[in-house]
Homo-oligomer: A and B are copies of this chain.
C-alpha cells in the first residue's frame, strides 16, 4: 500500500472525489472548517460543461471553459489537490484505493458526476459520439470539420449526403444548443469557408424520444423552441426513438432511416458510482441512494452529491433531483456547511433545493429562459443566457476570453477556432511512462 504524499495533520480529513460543480462547491465551503480537504480528480481542471457544445462547434477554445483546480484553491490553506483515478473504496478501513495509492479518509464525498448513457446499446455506443468531456468536444470539432474537408473531395451526391447529415439525439438543452450551433455554422460560416460545398445536401436533425424538446421547461417554452429550431432549418422529430446505428445507417422507431456518419448523442446520462459502495443502494442508472443529508444509505461517513446522488425528499421531484449543475452546486455548499456544523457539535440541516430556473439558447439571438415565475424568449432570453453563463464561468481570464469570442462572433458572424488539432505523424516522441500510465500522455 503506497501512500501518496499527503501531509498528515490532527484535523479530520475530508476526501472529495471529483472536481465538478459539486466537488468544488463543497471544497470551497470547507475553507474555514477545522478539516483537511483532499480533492481528487483524474483531470487537473474544472470543466464548465454548459459551454461544451460551443467548443464542439468551433465557437470557443477548449482552454476557455476549463479552469485549473489548483488555481481555484490557491488561497485555501487547508486544501490539497491530487490528480488521480479512483479504483474502489474500502469502507471497513476508511480507505480510498486509487491509482496513485491508498488515501485514508474521515469523511468521503463522492462527486463523480455522470457520463453519457447509451442505455445498453453497444452498437450505438461504439458509433455515436457523446459529449461530457473536453476531449470529446475537441474530438467532435475535429471530426465535424473533417467531414466538410472530406466532402469536398467527393463528387457524387450519394457519397456526400451521409457526410453532411448531422444528427443530434436527445432534445434536452445540450441537443437543442448543439443543433442551433450547427444551423448557425451552416448559415454563416460554411458558405464562406467552403464555397464549393453543396450545402443544400446538409441536414441537421434533432431527435427526441419524448413528446417535446426541453421537457424540463414549460410547454410554452418547448413550443417556442420547436418553432425556433424549425425556423433556422433544424429538422426536429419528437416521439421518435433511435433503434440502432451502425456508423452509417440510423434506424428510427418510425421506420425511417437516415444515412449519416455523425450521430451526436446527448439522450441521457448515468451516474458513475465507485466500487465498494453498499451494493443495494446503487441504482441501475448508476445513481446512489442518499438520505436528505447526502449520506449514502447504509454507510456512516460516505456522502454523495451532485448527479451521482439519488435523493428523494421533495414532492416536486419524486424521482430524485434533476442531474443539473444547480443541484450539484447547492448540495456541495450544503454538505460543506453540514460537515462544519457537525464538527462544531451543531445539527445538520436537510437539503432543500431552490430551483433558480433554466434556460437554453437556440442559435444566434434566440433563447428560452424561465426563472422566478417569469418566462422569456427571443433576444432578451439570449442576452440573459449569456450573462448568466459568463458570470458562472470560473476565472477572470476565462470570462474575458469567452466574452471576446462572443463579441467577435456577434459582429463578424465568424467562428475563430475551427482548427483540426491532430497527432502528427512526424516527430512526436513516445514519452516515458508515468504513474498516470493508464492514460496516454498525449491528448
Contacts and interface: CB of A to CB of B under 8 A. Distances in A.
Given A125-B429, A416-B398, A7 B196 contact: yes
Given A150-B434, A434-B146, A440 B422 contact: yes
Interface residues of A, number: 91
Nearest to A272: B426
Contact of A416 (B63, B143, B408): B63
A239 interface: no
Interface string A100-133: 1100000000000001100000000111111011
Given A397-B414, A422-B439, A153 B101 contact: yes
A137 to B, nearest CB: 10
Given A4-B153, A434-B146, A128 B429 contact: yes
A320 interface: no
B414 A404 contact: no
Given A74-B192, A261-B432, A152 B422 contact: no
Interface string A393-414: 0011110110011001000101
A422 B125 CA distance: 20
Given A101-B153, A128-B429, A429-B127, A424 B71 contact: no
B429 A43 contact: no
Contacts of A128: 429
Nearest to A426: B115
Contacts of A439: 422-425
Interface in A352-400: 395-398, 400
24 contacts: A5-B155, A62-B63, A66-B421, A70-B194, A71-B414, A74-B192, A82-B152, A82-B153, A83-B146, A127-B432, A130-B427, A133-B424, A135-B442, A142-B442, A150-B434, A150-B436, A153-B435, A247-B432, A396-B408, A397-B405, A397-B412, A398-B416, A401-B416, A423-B443
Given A61-B64, A127-B429, A130-B427, 10 more contacts: A7-B196, A45-B419, A83-B149, A125-B429, A126-B429, A127-B432, A136-B428, A139-B442, A401-B405, A421-B443
